[in-house]
A and B are shown apart, each in its own frame.
Chain A
Amino acid sequence: MNASPVILRTENLVRTLTTEALPVTLIRGASVDIRTHEFTAIKGPSGSGKSSLLYLLGLLDAPTSGRIFIDDFDITDYNQKRTAQIRLEQMGFVFQFHFLLPEFSSVENVMMPMRRLGKLNDREIRKRAIEKLDRLGLADHLDKLPSQLSGGQRQRVAIARALANDPRMIFADEPTGNLDSESSKTVQGILKDLAHQDGCAVVAVTHDPEFAKNCDRIITVVDGQIVS
């Protein structure tokens, strides 16, 4: 059934947080395959470690033990500099609190990853950023600051920014957690399109059963372990 290729694979990931009092184990032995063209939901009760798993998959955090492969390359021991480069070129992130840079307009926010990558000139970057925003129905809000946008609009700007460098993987942490049901549906639809039409691997953390139902595959995390 799963014809699409595996892009990201983990083996037995463990993440232990050393706090002053006691070491806390967030993830206990997670092995997952993430495929392109697939909309994967990670669900579980709060505190179960689903966000921690997402951060590990998105290379925002380093595992205590276990291995991570991208296209079958072991990248577990890559330093911060190299993982940052992978995030820049291949990954896009959408967070619950639609973290936009408050001083920058919508279009500047979307331009940011492209400018950091530095492969295009400024005019092309701006043109592409406008295309991305247009696709998400924000063509009228290019030069507005995040504070002038509604929650749903901000989340769509955040998605547009995640798409800036045409990533192969998109990671979303409760992308609809702060949105009303209307905006929530729109955002879900967009993420789904990205998986099915654009062929991205989309991974979203959620605790909303409705949201999870819409996804192609559900990974359930309980107490730091994948149960299904």
Chain B
Amino acid sequence: MRLLVFIALKHLLARKRQSLVSLMGIILGVAFFLGISSIMQGSEEDFIKRLVDNSPHITISDEYREPRIQPAEKVYQNSLVSIRNVTPLTETRGLRGYEKILNELRSTPGLLASPVLAGQGIITYAGQEKAITLSGMIPEEIDAVSTIRNYMVEGSLDRLFGNPDGILIGINLAKDLSLSLNDMIAVVAPSGDVKHFKILGIFKTGRGGYDRGQGFIHLKRAQTLFNKPNRINSILVKLDDPQLALSMSKDIENVIGYKAESWQEQSADLMNTLVIRNIIMYSVVSAVLIVAAFGIYNVISTVVMEKHRDIAILKSIGFQSEDIRRIFLIQGVLLGIAGNMVGIPMGIAMIKALSQIKFKPPGSSDIVYMPVSWGWEQFMIAASFALCASVLAAYLPARKGAQLMPVDVLRGGS
């Protein structure tokens, strides 16, 4: 084998320029593969991270996925019973026995849960009225299930801790109503109750609707405002491993009966888009490497053509067809390995360079860096794809070379 590698290497080194050109094909193929897959992968991860971080991994709400089975249907199970105009059963009382559910959830390792009572309210200020969704939460637990702290631009989340009459609102609402920190606002509940809140913090998430129509208050205050003492209507759950959300939500739903929706379920359409995006990306970068493989095929078949005499000599000396085939296959492998050895560092440099690119998304004042991924899988894919392509490209000419009979060459030569 060492001898065959030696011969293969000599063949490649004898035609440096050609070998180099085909090598460049693989190098660029691998580098671009890495560069492109890194941004695609990076932006996907970034996207999912935002999606996952900014929303609860599982939302348990006071609804049922299926309408309740009517007693008549239970009794006449195998007969034709059609019940129409069943009024949907809404749990106006919120989640029943939520403390028990919470305790059960909290005893699960790797899981954080916090109760929420959400409701609609109207903010009136200086004669204007704005509708707002108010989430009543336990301030100390907000961090566990929400990332709102990261988006505070004025005031702070901590100020809400000791101040039951505080409220956090979005920056768009603050602008619309010319509100600023520490201003007092009145909130009107659907029941007509009015409560006054002091603005303790203003957040800016970048999502316009959220920044205009969302507010956070104390759970207890929400319960009094909406006249639902000791009730909540949803539980937000965060998991240590967001990927488990789908299966975990099913388990939860089976146990407690209420609808538990995972983030994957809530954004199924987006996840589909990502899959399609990945398919497109991999076909494009694979095409680059396939083109590179043709370069290798070209070089090795040229070598085989030029080396007819050498093949005849080697065979007359006593080399087997198998040896000849290996000599040329090894050339493919060597080109593949060399291509990876230069292409991967080049790809790494490319990813580094990409990660330095700063840009400002339209409508935002923040500067964002290009999201890149350093996942080892893409390196594995690029390396093995390049190697396989090289070996495959070398295989056909190698087989042809191996089939060559020495007499055919000798007859032609003498």
Contacts and interface: CB of A to CB of B under 8 A. Distances in A.
Partners in one complex: yes
11 contacts: A51-B411, A52-B411, A80-B321, A84-B318, A85-B318, A95-B313, A95-B413, A96-B413, A113-B317, A113-B318, A116-B318
Interface string B307-319: 0011011111111
A97 B318 contact: no
B49 to A, nearest CB: 55
Given A99-B313, A101-B313, A112-B317, 13 more contacts: A51-B410, A51-B414, A55-B406, A55-B407, A60-B405, A60-B407, A81-B320, A84-B319, A84-B320, A103-B11, A112-B314, A113-B318, A118-B3
Interface string B381-414: 0000000000000000000000001110011011
A115 B323 CA distance: 13
Contact of A60 (B14, B316, B321): B316
B317 A161 contact: yes
The 4 closest A-B CB pairs, nearest first, are A88-B318, A103-B10, A87-B318, A61-B407
Nearest to B14: A103
Nearest to B4: A116
Contacts of A89: 318
A100 B315 CA distance: 13
Given A81-B320, A84-B320, A97 B414 contact: yes
Contacts of B318: 84-89, 91, 113, 116-117
Interface in A76-124: 80-81, 84-89, 91, 93, 95-97, 99-104, 112-113, 115-118
Interface of B: 3, 10-11, 13-14, 309-310, 312-323, 405-407, 410-411, 413-414
B407 A93 contact: no
Contacts of A115: 3
Interface of A: 51-52, 55, 58, 60-61, 80-81, 84-89, 91, 93, 95-97, 99-104, 112-113, 115-118, 161, 173-174
Contacts of B315: 60, 84
Contacts of A51: 410-411, 414
A156 to B, nearest CB: 16
A115 B314 CA distance: 12
B317 A116 contact: yes
A61 B405 contact: yes
B317 A87 contact: yes
A96 B414 contact: yes
Contact of A80 (B3, B316, B320): B320
B316 A116 contact: no
B414 A95 contact: yes
A171 to B, nearest CB: 9
A108 to B, nearest CB: 9
A101 B310 CA distance: 6
B233 to A, nearest CB: 80
Contacts of A81: 320-322
B410 A87 contact: no
A93 B299 CA distance: 30
Nearest to B13: A103
B7 to A, nearest CB: 8
Contacts of B411: 51-52
A173 B410 contact: yes
B322 to A, nearest CB: 8
Nearest to A17: B411
Nearest to A113: B317
A102 B407 contact: no
Nearest to A104: B10
Contacts of A88: 317-319
A108 B406 CA distance: 21
Nearest to B409: A99
Contacts of A80: 320-321
Contacts of A85: 318
Contacts of B322: 81
Nearest to B320: A84
A116 B413 contact: no
A157 to B, nearest CB: 12
A99 B407 contact: no
A99 B414 contact: no
